[in-house]
Chains A and B, each alone.
Chain A
Amino acid sequence: MVHIENLVKRYGSMVALDHLNLDIREGEIFGLLGPNGSGKTTAINCMLALLKYDKGTIRLFGEEMQPDSYDLKRQIGVVPQNVAVFEQMTVRENIDYFCSLYVPQKAERKKLVEEAIAFAGLEDYQKMLPRKLSGGLLRRLNIACGIAHRPRLIILDEPTVAVDPQSRNRILEGIVELNRQGSTIIYTSHYMEEVEQICTRIVILNHGRSIASGTSEELKQMIKTGETIVIEGVDLKEEQQEAIGRLPHVFEVTYSAQKTLTVKCTSAQHNVVRILNYLQEQNAAFGRVLSELPTLNDVFLEITGKELRD
C-alpha cells in the first residue's frame, strides 16, 4: 500500500532521512517508532507530498504521490501531531467541515459525522467550542476530524502526546477498531508501550535511518537480552558476583551500592531458579526478585547504545 525507497531528505547539512526504505502492507497497523527528531514526522510529510525531498521514490496505492493527486488524497486520513481544528467552530461543525473536504454529499456526510462523533465519544460535546474541551477530548476531536470520511489509509502522527491515561486507552482502542473496520494505519510515536500494544509491524527509526523492523517479538529476538533479573537487598562479595556471571545463559552482571543485583540472560528457561539456587547455596539473604522480559527500549538500547526516551 505504501512503498518508500531510498528516501533522502536534508535540511541544509543535516540529514533528516537517510536512504529510508519502508513497505507498508494493506491491513497493517504499522508503527514508526523513534525518539524525537528521528525523522518520523518528516517521513510522513514527504509521504503526503508536503515536503520536498532530495532523493528516492514514494508510491501510495501503487501510484506516485503528488500534491495534486486528489484521487489518492481522497483515500487518506491524516491526524497531525498538533491539534488542528478551528477555534470558532463547534465540535460537530469542525468534523463536518473536514469531512466535507472529502465528501461533498450532505446526506452521506451527515451519517459519517454521526459515526465519527460516536467513535470518538464526543456525543456530549457536539455543540462545544474546542477551547472548552480538555486536552484528551481535543485529541479525540483531532482524530475524529481526520477519520470521519472513512479513509483506506490513516496516518496518525503522535496522537497521544499530552493525553491523560483514560483518553489514551480510548484512543488506542479506537485505532485498533478502525483497523478492524478495514483501514490501514500508520502510527508514529515515541511511546514504545503504545507501539508494542497496537502495532502489527514496527520500524525503529534513529537519525533518519531504519535500524530495525519486524513484529514486536521479532525485534526482541534480534537482541541478546532474553530476560533481565533484578534482585534487591542482596549482600554479595565480588567472587560471588563473578560466580553468578559464570552461570549458564548469563552474560552481564551489575551490582549497585544499593545492594541491587541486575543479571542479564539470553533467552532460556529457569534462569531465575538457577540464580536463586546459587544464592541459597551461599546462604545469601535477598529481598524482592523481579524478572523482566525485554522491551523495545532494550532493543533500541542494544542497537544504538542509548535509551529510546533520551
Chain B
Amino acid sequence: MMRLYLSGLLRMARDRSELFWGLLFPVIMATLFFVSFGIGMDPEKMSAVPAGLVSEENGMFETFLTGMDEGILDLEKMDGEQALDALRAGKISGVFYGGSEPSLTVAASGIEESILQTLLSSYLEHEAMMKQIAKEHPEKLFSAAAQLSGYPDLLEHVTATGRSMDTNLGYFYALIGMACLFGTFGGLDTSVEIRADQSALAVRRSVAPVHRLKLVLSGMLANFTLQFASVCLLLLYLNMLGLSFGDKWFLLLPVCALGSLTGVAFGIFVGSLKMRYGFKVGILVSSTLAMSFLAGLMFVNMKDIVEHHAPIINRVNPAALIADAFYSVAVYDNPARYAVNLALLAAITVLLTAVSFLRLRRERYESI
C-alpha cells in the first residue's frame, strides 16, 4: 500500500498539468484578485482615509460626510489653501468641496482615493432623493443622511462578534474552495487507471494480484496529499500578500484537508461512471466552476443569494461549505457553524467514496 501510495505521489508530482491546475492556477487567480481589489484587504490593518473638507456652509453633503463612520474617513475641515497644501504634502488623500455642487480633488490614484471617490459618487447618486426629503420632510433629513452614510457597508461589514471584514474576502474564500476542488482531476485519473474498460494501464493493473480497494485508496491518498499541500501553499501565499486568517488559522487546515479530500473523491466518483473520458473531464470542469461560482468566486454575494433562495444548495456544494467554514473561523467565530460545515463535507466525501468503490469493485466488464 505504501509503495503504491509513494509511486502515485511521484507520478502526480511530475505531472505538469496537475501542478498547474492544482497549484499555479489558484495562485494566478489569487494574484489577479489582489491586483483587482488591492493589497491590504485586512480591515483590521486598514486605517481611516484622511481627507479635507472645504465648505462655507453646513449643507447636506457636509452632514453626509460628518456622519460617516470614523473608521472609514478621518475628516478635517480646512480652508482651500490649507487643504491643497496638506494634499501636496501627502497628509491627506483628497479634498472634498461642499456647496451646491460637491466635488473631490485628489493627487494620486490608489485605494484611498478610490474610497473617497466612491463616497462622493454615493452621495451624488442619492442627492436628488435627499433634496426631496429636505423639501417634504425636513425633520427626517438627519436620519436619511445617517441611513445614506450606511453605504460604507459596501466596504465594511461588522459581525455579531464585532469583528470587521471586507466583503471581498468572500472571493478569496471561494477561490480556496475552488482550489480544493481541483483535486477532482487527479481523482478522475485514479479512476481511469483502475477501470479496465477505460485504459490499457488499467488492464495491466487489473490483472495484477492487488486488491481494488488498495489501488483506489492509495490513488486517493496520493492525490489528497498533493492537493492538500497545494492548498496549504496557496494559503501561505495569500497570507504573504496580506490576507489575514485571524487567530484561529489552524482551524482552517482541517477545512482545507477535508475539502481536498472531497475534491478527490468527487473526481474518483465521476471517473467511475461509464462514459467517455472527454465527457468526464467536461463534467468536472463545468461542475467545479459552477460550484465555485455559487460559492461566490465571480460574484461575492452569490452565496448569500443562494442561501436566501435555495439554502440546500449551499449545504451540498463543497465549495460553499469550504468558504462558509472560512467565514465561520475568520469572521463569525462560530464553532457550531464550522463544525456543521466540516460534518457536511465529511458526509459528502464518505458518500462519494463509498459509491465510487462500489462501482469500481465491479471487476468484470461487458466490453473493453
Contact = CB atoms under 8 A, between A and B. Distances in A.
Contact of A52 (B10, B14, B201, B365): B365
Contacts of B206: 48, 50, 67
Contacts of B204: 78, 80, 84, 98, 145-146
B203 A78 contact: yes
Contact of B200 (A73, A82, A88): A82
30 contacts: A41-B368, A48-B206, A48-B207, A49-B364, A50-B363, A50-B368, A51-B366, A51-B368, A52-B365, A52-B366, A68-B363, A70-B209, A70-B210, A70-B211, A73-B209, A78-B203, A80-B200, A81-B200, A82-B200, A84-B199, A84-B200, A84-B203, A84-B204, A88-B10, A88-B14, A89-B7, A89-B10, A93-B7, A100-B3, A101-B210
Interface in B162-178: none
Contacts of B15: 88
B207 A73 contact: yes
A67 B364 contact: yes
A83 interface: yes
Contact of B11 (A45, A68, A89): A89
Contacts of B161: none
Interface in A78-112: 78, 80-86, 88-89, 93, 97-98, 100-102, 104
Contacts of A51: 364-368
A75 B209 CA distance: 9
Interface string B1-42: 001000100111011000000000000000000000000000
Contacts of B157: none
A146 B207 CA distance: 10
A50 B365 contact: yes
Query: Nearest 3 pairs between A and B by C-beta?
Result: A67-B363, A84-B200, A101-B208
Interface string B345-368: 000000000000000000111111
Contacts of A97: 7
B205 A101 contact: yes
A100 B4 CA distance: 9
A117 interface: no
A45 B368 contact: yes
A37 B367 CA distance: 14
A78 B200 contact: no
B51 interface: no
A8 to B, nearest CB: 14
A281 interface: no
Chain B, interface size category, equals 20 to 34
Given A70-B209, A93-B7, 19 more contacts: A11-B366, A45-B203, A45-B368, A48-B206, A49-B363, A49-B364, A50-B203, A50-B206, A50-B363, A50-B365, A51-B366, A68-B363, A83-B200, A84-B199, A88-B10, A88-B14, A93-B10, A100-B3, A101-B205
Interface string B172-213: 000000000000000000000000100111011111111100
A3 interface: no
Interface of A: 11, 41, 45, 48-52, 67-68, 70-71, 73-74, 76, 78, 80-86, 88-89, 93, 97-98, 100-102, 104, 145-146
**Dominant SS among interface residues on chain A:** loop
A152 to B, nearest CB: 13
A57 to B, nearest CB: 15
Given A50-B196, A50-B368, A80-B200, A98 B10 contact: no
Contacts of B210: 70, 101
Contacts of A76: 207
Given A88-B14, A88-B15, A73 B208 contact: yes
A127 to B, nearest CB: 13
B193 to A, nearest CB: 9
B367 A11 contact: yes
A57 B15 CA distance: 43
B17 to A, nearest CB: 11
Contacts of A11: 366-367
A17 B208 CA distance: 25
Contacts of A83: 200
A84 B366 contact: no
Nearest to A98: B204
Nearest to B193: A86
A52 B199 contact: no
Given A83-B200, A88-B14, A104-B3, A98 B208 contact: yes
Contacts of A73: 207-209
Nearest to A149: B208
A50 B208 CA distance: 11
Nearest to B215: A101
Contacts of B200: 80-84
Contacts of A50: 196, 203, 206-207, 363-365, 368
Nearest to A49: B364
Chain A CB within 10 A, most for which of B208, B210, B363, B368: B208
Contacts of B209: 70-71, 73-74, 101-102
B3 A88 contact: no
Contacts of A101: 205, 208-210
A86 B11 contact: yes
A85 B363 CA distance: 21
B11 A88 contact: yes
A81 B69 CA distance: 73
A98 B12 CA distance: 17
B164 to A, nearest CB: 47
B362 to A, nearest CB: 9
A93 B7 CA distance: 9
Contacts of A145: 204
A102 B7 contact: no
B203 to A, nearest CB: 5
